[in-house]
């Protein structure tokens, strides 16, 4: 591909809701394709639906894209700032005879000029698709009005919309990289509205005008937009522009194989960030919802995905959103990422929980890396570092009730833990073997199994029954803190 022919793609969300999983996957496919091909990704905010837009959501959508690691090259562009361009395009179509004025009430026909309603969370990441699909209604009578009849309506002050004049014969064809060549009988396409009677463009007009102006070469979007494409192909032709290549990607369904929605749990990208998922794990999971990289590999770092991504690998089959699979990916990433790649995310989590300022993690980077590396094999989400692993980063933690009941029930433990604290405090060297020998020596002297002291000590120093190996944990936490925590436990246990 010559430099001048590099692909130009766009992600075009509508600020009528948060960035949901379907839209995020569409954005990701556009980004992967652009990066693989050395092309350009634009972000365009389709905000002409004044009745449903929530401008405050724009920043949230852009922030979620950034969290996901999707960096765009141009934009964001706002359709609300380009209204005159759409009006001029509609007037050109009217002047050429490709469109006609419509004086019907918006509610009188299918595909009217009223702003449509719809479940935005189920949109696959592009503006409005003109609402729920309906059967083609009766032909608009305004199509065949005489000049005199039109003049009379204008004189009467009747507001007009502008409709596209669809040929009543022939077919409309377009190429789709995923679904192949598509052909629709023109008689099945209504004379759709381009400009509403309030002067605002419909989705069909604005998206085509923008894609022409922005020189978009490939339109990658959800398969729920397949039904819009014949209308848009007609518009490209009427406006004298080449039709871009389309790639409609499969929809994402819930486990019950219905459209993914709130009833299936969290669907907005921001909620997964809040829960503690790593962005790269989320990217990897999303990419495999409808795309096959070839081979058996599932764990793919982002550079690998960019290298392998092609639209020919996108499936026609709808994908299933599997929450346990997403959690598996996150666990894999937390365990396999180079430690220096993981640390910034753990730092952010510690700051969120108020555990960063004044902590050893902040003062000693090597200690921080060693501690995270010890803890991470037992983590699933980032909030595990401030949940069950909280005691690694602060002395402010509680003893788990079940752990206390299970491992602190022996009445001799108070005295034995006091002796253990003294033995550990006397150690000249603080390492795994020295800690091990001190504890096992005490157990032998007291005539108890080492396991009794190991389990009790674990609860004393981390507050939990399950943690990384005890002596490695003791080394990481440090001599002074371990001794202090065991003595605190002795005080908690009190006289028996």
| CA atoms within 13 Å, Cβ hemisphere of 314 | 28
Q: Report the C-alpha gap between 257 and 279 in whole angstroms.
A: 25
Q: Report the C-alpha gap between 39 and 34 in whole angstroms.
A: 4
DSSP 199: S
Q: For residues 405 and 493, is the Cβ–Cβ distance under 8 A?
A: no
| CA atoms within 13 Å, Cβ hemisphere of 438 | 26
**What are the start-end ranges of the H helices in 97-170?**
147-155
Active site residue 262: yes
Q: For residues 173 and 183, is the Cβ–Cβ distance under 8 A?
A: yes
Active-site hit among 136, 173, 262, 449 = 262
Length of the chain, please? 496
Q: Report the C-alpha gap between 300 and 304 in whole angstroms.
A: 6
* β-strands 193-195, 161-164 pairing: antiparallel
Residues with Cβ < 8 Å from 115, sequence gap 6 or more?
49, 50, 51, 52, 196, 200
233 by Cβ neighbours in 10 Å (0-12 / 13-18 / 19+) ranks as buried
Instruction: Evaluate the omega torsion of the peptide bond into residue 214 and state whether it is cis, within 30 degrees of 0.
Output: no
Q: Report the C-alpha gap between 105 and 108 in whole angstroms.
A: 5
* Both tokens assigned to 262: 């709130």
Q: For residues 254 and 260, is the Cβ–Cβ distance under 8 A?
A: yes
* Both tokens assigned to 118: 């719809």
Tokens 């381009």: give the residue: 194
Q: Report the C-alpha gap between 7 and 32 in whole angstroms.
A: 12
Q: Report the C-alpha gap between 101 and 161 in whole angstroms.
A: 6
CA 397 from centroid of its chain's CA atoms: 33
In this structure, what is the dihedral angle of CA atoms 28, 32, 33, 38, given to the nearest 10 degrees?
140
| Residue 99 φ then ψ, to 5° | -140, 165
Catalytic residues: 262
């Amino acid at each position: 591909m010559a430099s001048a022919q590099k692909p130009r793609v766009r992600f075009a969300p509508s600020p009528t809701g948060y960035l949901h999983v379907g839209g995020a996957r569409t954005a990701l496919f556009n980004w992967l394709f652009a990066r693989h091909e050395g092309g350009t990704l634009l972000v365009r905010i389709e905000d002409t639906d004044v009745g449903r837009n929530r401008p405050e959501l724009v920043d949230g959508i852009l922030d979620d894209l950034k969290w996901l690691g999707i960096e765009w090259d141009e934009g964001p562009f706002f359709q609300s700032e380009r209204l005159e361009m759409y009006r001029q395009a509609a007037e050109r179509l009217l002047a050429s005879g490709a469109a006609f004025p419509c004086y019907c009430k918006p509610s009188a026909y299918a595909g009217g000029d009223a702003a449509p309603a719809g479940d935005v969370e189920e949109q696959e990441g592009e503006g409005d698709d003109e609402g729920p699909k309906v059967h083609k209604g009766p032909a608009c009578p305004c199509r065949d009005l005489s000049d005199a009849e039109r003049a009379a309506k204008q004189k009467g002050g009747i507001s007009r919309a502008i409709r596209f004049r669809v040929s009543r014969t022939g077919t409309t064809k377009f190429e789709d990289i995923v679904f192949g060549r598509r052909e629709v009988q023109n008689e099945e396409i209504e004379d759709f509205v381009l400009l509403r009677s309030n002067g605002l463009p419909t989705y069909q007009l604005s998206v085509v005008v923008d894609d022409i102006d922005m020189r978009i070469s490939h339109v990658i979007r959800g398969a729920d937009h397949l039904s819009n494409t014949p209308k848009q192909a007609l518009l490209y032709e009427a406006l004298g522009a080449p039709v871009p290549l389309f790639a409609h990607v499969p929809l994402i369904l819930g486990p019950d194989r219905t459209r993914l929605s709130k009833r299936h749990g969290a669907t907005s990208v921001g909620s997964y960030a809040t829960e503690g998922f790593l962005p790269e794990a989320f990217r990897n999971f999303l990419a495999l919802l409808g795309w096959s990289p070839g081979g058996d590999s599932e764990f793919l770092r982002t550079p690998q995905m960019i290298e392998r991504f092609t639209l020919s690998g996108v499936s026609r089959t709808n994908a299933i959103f599997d929450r346990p699979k997403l959690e598996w990916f996150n666990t894999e990433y937390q365990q396999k990422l180079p430690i220096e790649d993981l640390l910034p995310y753990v730092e952010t989590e510690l700051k969120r929980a108020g555990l960063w300022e004044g902590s050893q993690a902040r003062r000693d980077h090597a200690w921080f890396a060693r501690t995270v590396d010890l803890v991470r094999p037992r983590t699933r989400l980032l909030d595990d570092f401030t949940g069950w692993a909280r005691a690694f980063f602060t002395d402010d933690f509680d003893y788990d009730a079940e752990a206390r009941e299970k491992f602190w029930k022996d009445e001799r433990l108070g005295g034995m833990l006091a002796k253990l604290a003294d033995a550990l405090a006397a150690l000249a060297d603080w390492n795994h073997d020295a800690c091990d020998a001190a504890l096992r020596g005490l157990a032998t002297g007291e005539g108890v199994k080492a396991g009794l002291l190991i389990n009790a000590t674990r609860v004393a120093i981390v507050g939990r029954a399950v943690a990384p190996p005890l002596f490695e944990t003791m080394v990481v936490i440090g001599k002074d803190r371990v001794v202090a925590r065991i003595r605190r436990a002795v005080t908690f246990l009190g006289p028996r």
